Structure 1
Amino acid sequence: MAGRLNAAPGGAGRGPRPRRGAVALGGLTAAVLVVHLWLLSGARELHEHWMPDTPEPDRIEAVFVRELKPAAPPPPAAPEKAGPPGTPRRILPAIPSLGEGPAPLPPDPVASEPPAELQALAMPPALAVSDAVGEWTPGIEWPLSTELDYRLTGDYRGAVYGDARVQWLRDGSHYQVHLEAWIGPRIAPLMSRRLSSDGEITPLGLVPRRFDEVTGGLAGGNRHQTLRFEDGGVRLADGRREPMPDGTQDAASQFVQFTWLFLTGRQVAQGDQLIQQSLALPRHLHLWRYRVTELEEVATPLGPIPAWHVDSDMDDTRGDMQAEFWLAPSLQYLPVRVRLWQNRAKDPRTHIDLVLKAPPKQALAPAPASAPAASAAAEAASTAGR
């Protein structure tokens, strides 16, 4: 009886016939496994494209011990004195142009011979001998490590308020720029964003190696985009590699690059001047255009500060972030105001506006080794090598 109950209707010795439901369940399970494997493969690919596979560089340490006081900018370099008749005039190489239609070079300014201590800050747009030969070390033409604090206002689905901080950090020829902004209290911001650039200082300006954009906060979610600069190209946040011209900057390094250009006289500050700058942003590589409009007085909690207004002159940014800024000659051409737009053409209301709220703070210059100390160090090294 038991054998008959367990036997198949077709005769003894055959196993039980699978039910249709079991077959369907097995097929569904296989399909789900295939879909999961496909999703995992896609997720892995997205992770490789969007998420950084290496941690960010450690932040350069700096101790800000003094306030930067307003001072008159250094005079421009004196024109080169003409030699005897028949002597060919030395042609000074200009900054390499990016793309077609660069702004024409201004005529040589007429000025008296500046003091020796200011000549390094008033370098013409040419390479000094030390720039081109042997090991190069950044000099006083680059600002010391500097921290700037800003008051933040703007509009993001309504009026927003907060604070921001920019740090320019340097250790030898290694630099970092960090722009951090937060809406609401810093301890628990409604939204925060950080732009960080890490790279090298060279005789021709900043050379970024890595850029990170981190968005967070209660309403900002958690998103991290990374750019990696390689020889002749940049790896965008989605993994695409785009060729790039020399001199390309990122969204954070561009501010200090402009400061250096104006501070050294490589770019003469004057109204109605068009400046082209290759710019790598998380989604696209642009030949960006900026226009220097006029010298304006920026109202700050420190009082009015004259600054050159540099505004974006782009018709189509393809949705990338846009910036305009004000560079103050009396504060080493550092930005005393920065305005950032997420998509200015389509959404002119959404922006944040940063205005300097306290004197900039700077680190002390590293003290050069004295001659006796250097001699003793060399003697010690020589003795250790014997």
Structure 2
Amino acid sequence: MTGKLAMKLDTRSLIGGRMKSVRLTLLYSLWCLSAAVLSACSTPFCDAPGGLCAPQTAKTSAPPVIEYKPQPQPLPKPPPEPEAPAAEVFAVTAPGETAAPAAADGATPSAAVPVDAPRQGGRRYKVNLPPSASFDVHVDRVDADGTKWTGSATMSWHTDGSHYTASVQAGVSLLIARINLLSLRSEGTIDDYGIAPATFTEKRARRSETATHFNRDAGTITFSASEASYPLLVGAQDKATVPFQLGGIGRADVNQFGSDIDIQVGEDKEATIFRFQLVGEDEIETDMGKVVTWHLTRPPKPGTYSSRLDIWLAPGLNWYPIRIRNTEASGALTTQTITKMKELSK
């Protein structure tokens, strides 16, 4: 009896021990799962407190080192050099004419233009210059502040068909004395484009005389009062010859005034393009009677000149300039009107 009881107790102890071992094993497994280190627990039991194996840090291998060898990249191609802009060339064909076609590639032009030749101008106009004459001129001046004064001038135009001279003398008379305020003189030749100035001089009261040179061999316009140099365009004029060149254009073919007239004008320090436009037909009063004229104007051009220039040409009087008026930006007004004229022999 006693032996059977002892056997039962041993059996219960064994079963209890095994149950305890199972519970510990389950707890151990749950701990390993929660720590995500099942692989680090090599034995279910160890000497650590609680009989559980402390988790060990898993050894991780270093990532493989990949050696980077940059591949040589081809150098970018340089951008193509921009082509030089074409020079602005003014057409010089006369009305009704056509420009010569460009030479084909590889072809040799029949005649090369010399480097020092005068450059081509805006348009080539037909010109029939008026005969030589002298003029007496009445001058009216109104200053910007309203002050009025009058004066007189003489103007002359002389040509033999190959050469010319043009001059203007303007001043005021005080009692028995005359004071010259302005003196202009131009001389040169006549070519296929009309008047071709060589030298233009200008003298104003209390100022030194200035000279403008039209260097046809070099193709430039230069000045005594400035170091500037401008390309010489064909048909270029000066302030003394512009009215007579316009008269020659109208005398040759009045239809040329149907479009703007562009003329390069060399002044005392610079050369600019004067653009004249036809206003219409005017009848004006003069000491010679009523004269029918064609009225041309050069409006102000911002950045170039601020004054307005008006010229009245008389078709019935060889297209001579019967009246010239300059309106300054300040409002000052100067009007020159011919009172007497005389044609001269060559």
Structure 1: runs of 5 or more not aligned: 1-89, 106-123, 127-140, 366-386
Match of 1:353 in 2: 335
Q: Distance in 2 between matches of 1:173 and 1:280?
A: 21
Aligned residues of 1:261 and 1:267 also touching (Cα < 8 A): no
How many Å apart are 1:340 and its aligned residue? Answer: 2.8
Residue 337 of structure 2 aligns to a residue whose secondary structure is: strand
Alpha-carbon distance between aligned partners in 2 of 1:203 and 1:98, rounded to the nearest angstrom: 13
- Partners of 2:175 and 2:203 in 1: CA distance: 15
Q: Compared with structure 1, are the counterparts of its residues 266 and 330 closer, same or farther at alpha carbon in structure 2 (3 Å cutoff)?
A: closer
Aligned match of 2:167 in 165, 168, 178?
178
Which letter does structure 1 place at the counterpart of 2:164? Answer: Y
Contact 2:169/2:180, CA 8 A, preserved across alignment: no
Are residue 307 (structure 1) and residue 293 (structure 2) matched?
Answer: yes
Instruction: Give the Å deviation of 1:206.
Output: 0.8
Deviation at 1:317, TM superposition (A): 6.2
Distance 1:275 1:196 in 2: 24
Answer with 1 or 2: which has the greater Rg: 2
Change in 2 beyond 3 A, CA 1:229/1:326: same
1:255 paired residue number: 243
Residue aligned with 2:249, SS: helix
Which of 261, 265, 271 is the aligned partner of 2:253?
A: 265
Alpha-carbon spacing, 1:188–1:226, altered in 2? closer, same or farther (3 Å)? farther
For 1:198, the equivalent position in structure 2 comes to: 187
Q: Distance in 1 between matches of 2:306 and 2:232?
A: 17
1:239 aligns to what SS in structure 2? Answer: coil
For 1:322 and 1:354, how far apart are their aligned partners in 2?
14
1:352 maps to a residue whose letter is T
Deviations 1:127-176 (A, max 9, x none): xxxxxxxxxxxxxx433320011111112461010111210012351101
Higher-RCO chain (CA-CA 8 Å, sequence separation at least 6): 1
Give 1:244 shift. Answer: 2.3
- CA offset digits 1:232-259 (Å, max 9, x no partner): 1111231322222111111111111111
Q: Paired residue for 2:208, among 217, 223, 239?
A: 223
**Which amino acid counterpart does residue 363 of structure 1 have in structure 2?**
L
Matched, 1:243 2:231: yes
Match for residue 292 of structure 1? 278
**SS of aligned partner of 1:222:** coil
- Provide the identity percentage: 22
Return the alpha-carbon distance in structure 2 between the equivalents of residues 252 and 207 of structure 1. Answer: 12
Give the direction of change, closer, same or farther, for the CA distance of 1:314–1:152 in structure 2 (3 Å limit): same
Q: Report if aligned partners of 1:245, 1:278 keep a CA contact under 8 Å in 2.
A: yes
- Say if 1:309 and 1:325, in contact at 8 Å, map to a contact too: yes
Query: Judging changes above 3 Å, is the alpha-carbon distance between structure 1 residues 191 and 248 closer, same or farther for their aligned structure 2 residues?
Result: same
Deviations along 1:275-296, one digit per CA (max 9) or x if unpaired, are 1111111122112211110000
How many residue pairs get matched?
Answer: 228
* 8 Å Cα contact 2:131/2:344 also seen in 1: yes
Q: Name the CA distance, whole Å, in 1 between partners of 2:215 and 2:178.
A: 34
Q: Give TM-score, length-normalised by structure 2.
A: 0.59
Cα distance change, pair 353–247 in 1 and its aligned pair in 2 (3 A): same
2-structure distance, mates of 1:91, 1:353: 37
Q: In the superposition, relative to structure 1, how do residues 187 and 318 fare at CA in structure 2: closer, same or farther (>3 Å)? A: farther
- In structure 2, the residue matched to 1:233 is 220
- Counterparts in 2 of 1:1-386, with a 5 A limit? 92=97, 98-99=121-122, 125=126, 141-156=128-143, 158-185=147-174, 188-190=177-179, 192-216=181-205, 221-231=206-216, 232-236=219-223, 237-265=225-253, 268-270=256-258, 273-316=259-302, 318=304, 323-341=309-327, 344-345=328-329, 347-349=330-332, 351-358=333-340, 360-364=341-345
With 203-212 and 149-158 compared, the bigger mean Cα shift is at 149-158
C-alpha distance in structure 1 between counterparts of 2:178 and 2:303, whole Å: 28
Contact 2:228 2:269 in 1 (8 A): no
CA deviations over 1:156-199 (Å, ceiling 9, x no partner): 46101011121001235110111221133496345510121111
The one-letter code sitting in structure 2 at the alignment partner of 1:143 is P
Root mean square deviation, CA, Å = 2.9
User: Deviation at 1:338?
Assistant: 0.8
Equivalent residue, structure 2, for 1:81: none
